Structure 1
Amino acid sequence: MILIVGIPSDGPTRLVIDAAEAAGVEHLVLNQRESHFVDLRVDLRRGAPVDGTLRLRHRDWPLSAFSGIFLRMMEWQELPENRGTPSPDPDGIRRSGLLHDALIQWTEMMPCRVMNRCSAMGSNASKPYQAQIIEQTGFLTPPTLITSDPARVREFLQRYRHVVFKSISGARSIVKTLSDVRLLHLDRVRMLPTQFQAFVPGTNIRVHVTGDEVFATEMRSAAIDYRYPASDGEEVEMAAVTLPEEIETRCLDLSHRLDLPLAGVDLKVTREGEYYCFEVNPMPAYSYFQEGSGQEIAGGIVRYLAGGDPAAGRPMPARQRGEEDGRDC
């Protein structure tokens, strides 16, 4: 059975629920907005597997029943039930906080498959750290400067001519060109270290890894940041593409190194066929790409969470899996 934790109306969560229903995979939805009324008991005994009980909608579910967990939670403090309601329930809010803390700790301990554990998602909090892992897989990364010194930025711009900038943390930011107009406000960089990169011309590709499956989507847009084409007055078209085997293997390797069985990998391929990797999103809003390209990414999520031994080892490209020669994986 799969446990799906999040807000059912959220696009990526909704698609996982729909995919599980379509595949006939048994699943249970823990709606965060019901957190005031959910109980989680975790039993820890030396020499025994982690177990316990999840009480949800007046029924008890043994924790050992879950083969996989899809974890896409918003901050519990931001739930409508915990803020902005006409009559907040102090006891309910306290229970909600305790439940979310317990959920995070439990999913760290459980041996089942989890997409994704919160500890692994922390890698996205530092783009420089993540870039070091990216380079270890063989991907190229663009020349990068992280600084709060305007003079260093001007030197970097003089060297590379076309430069873009973005946040160095996991905070969402829109990638923008360092234009003449923005140079007028360059002194603001003293307030916050910022990441500047040489612009890499080419075609953007978003890759979603789901366990041992890879879904690649080509993004056709003249926008600097294809996620927000309207900010540049542009549009975006999406198309499913097949990656070279070597690039697919690198994406899987990167997902494994970051302990992210669900990963959104941002690539760009140049005219010369070189592949650059910019970052890895640990909680990708894959629904946007599924709806735009027609790829069943949610189906890949469900297949991974419903499948086999979570300790089976490193994911392999689909073309290398056992079904090619009749072996059991």
Structure 2
Amino acid sequence: MKRLSTNFMGIHLKNPIIAGASNLSDNLDNVKRLEEAGVAAIVFKSLFEEQIQLEKLELDADLEEYDERHAEMITMHPHLEHAGIEEHLLKLRKAKESVSIPVIASLNAVHGKTWLEYARKLQDTGVDGLELNLYSIPKRVDLDAAFIENEHLEKLTDIKKAIKIPMSVKISPFYTNIMNVVHRMSKGGVDGVVLFNRLYESDIDVKSEKTKLDMTLSSSDEMRLPLRYTGLLEGKIAADICSSRGIDSGDDVIKMLLAGAKCVQVVSSVYRHGYRHVGIMLEDIAKWMDSKGYENIEDFRGKLSKSNLKDPYAYERAQYVDLLMKPFESLIKEPMR
């Protein structure tokens, strides 16, 4: 449907729904299913430097396990080296060749030189764009917010200079001032910003008294944070906005577009409902547009962003204060005592 078409960081999209990076895209059959389901683009499974390094250490440990058991024995195995990122690059190249929709690479590295090296190699696979997964888990008390933010911005600037394809950054919501950081990223040359990355958090099993890590799918309630910052940032930055996290229905997509997003990323909704749910979401968007008399997405995109609203307090704290003034008794299932 031409009427649903949009674009993100200069990449034409037939509709606003992108399949976000996940294990789904690690399988070539799944990549084809996502295209058949109707997604406009696919962000391939992220390349993590830490995973590559861990696999290399495990291989070295396995190969050296029986070394020097006897005086005349140096090694039982011929010299072997871990393939590094070659397997990931091969899968990515095949995925790009197997579908007609745009494919975007995703990268999360640790060291400065590795960011640049991996970014160039991902670009060489022929992908349409690169998404950087940028976040920092606090580990030291002596690092302030400015140091971490400046380090991130330097990485973005260096990578942008090193590649020619469009580049977006997928960030977490845990910056001190998201508005300022995103504004500086946009000025630094990023073509798009994805709001937000959903980090997996540790949990504790009280029976075994051990930590555990469960994969939990996002819900629609989680979309309110990216919705807020999409509405606040639209019209304030040059970079395109892609909203992510908790988007589970056609109505959720419409809300993000009204706030000013160019597109959205979905993952949990596909896991929860299956591939065909993408088509249902697209149909719901088209039906809503018909009911409102909109011919294309640009007719209403950003209509309810802060820049286009007369209410000066939209998306800000005044709404929170107003909400606190209202009675909540109707939400309580049992009588208050």
The two structures share one fold, judged by TM-score above 0.5: no
Please report the TM-score for the alignment, with normalisation by the length of structure 2: 0.26
Please report the TM-score for the alignment, with normalisation by the length of structure 1: 0.26
**Structure 1 or 2: larger strand share?**
1
**Structure 1 or 2: larger helix share?**
2
Q: Which has the larger radius of gyration?
A: 2
